[in-house]
Structure 1
């Protein structure tokens, strides 16, 4: 399973995004069963992309994340490349579609490295 960093403040989130060219933010809530069910699947999916770094944020601990990234529901997943949002997926994840998007972006990004 993909290694994951727990981000417990907005400053940690900003530093995480600044330090990693490819950041995948998983924003969840403690009392959300969908959030808990999706996380292991996301971690397994992201194993295919070693350059993408995974950070998890509990929106109840870091409420300011909602304003910064305009988050209205949980879970939400954001792929951020060089501080810009490229992919946003919420609540109902179509894994085939997410995998296809990640493949395309990852291939283009890693070719330019």
Structure 2
């Protein structure tokens, strides 16, 4: 089962992105109702893609994330390919379109 690992330190974030071919970062915020409803949907989609490494960050616990990745709202879903940001979806994420984007990328690698 593909699970989200919580990230609290810059080194952990760098490891997630740099040491995995495909990785996804879910950025949440305290008391964010959209974040709370979106995360289970993203988890469900990502179960189909076991080779994607998943990370979870609460922006209020890791404030430098906003500056590093220019994240100004939550939730934000960032998808990385070979250490580079490939796409991002923020706030209201259309699940079907998100799933199609991930599938297209994943099929090129696995």
Same structural fold, with TM-score higher than 0.5 when normalized by the shorter chain: yes
- Alignment partner of 1:86 is 2:86: yes
Aligned match of 1:45: 45
Aligned match of 1:57: 57
8 Å CA contact 1:26–1:76 kept in 2: the answer is: yes
Root-mean-square deviation (CA, aligned residues, Å) is 1.1
Aligned match of 1:19: 19
Distance 1:8 1:27 in 2: 12
- SS of alignment partner, residue 85 of structure 2: strand
Distance 1:51 1:2 in 2: 8
Give the structure-1-normalised TM-score.
0.92
Distance 1:108 1:101 in 2: 11
Aligned-pair distance for 1:19?
A: 1.9
Distance 2:4 2:101 in 1: 21
Aligned-pair distance for 1:10?
A: 1.9
Distance 1:60 1:74 in 2: 10
8 Å CA contact 1:22–1:81 kept in 2: the answer is: yes
- Alignment partner of 1:29 is 2:29: yes
Aligned match of 1:109: 109
Aligned match of 1:70: 70
8 Å CA contact 1:2–1:44 kept in 2: the answer is: no
Deviations 1:86-113 (A, max 9, x none): 1100111111111111111111122xxx
Distance 1:15 1:98 in 2: 24
Aligned-pair distance for 1:2?
A: 3.1
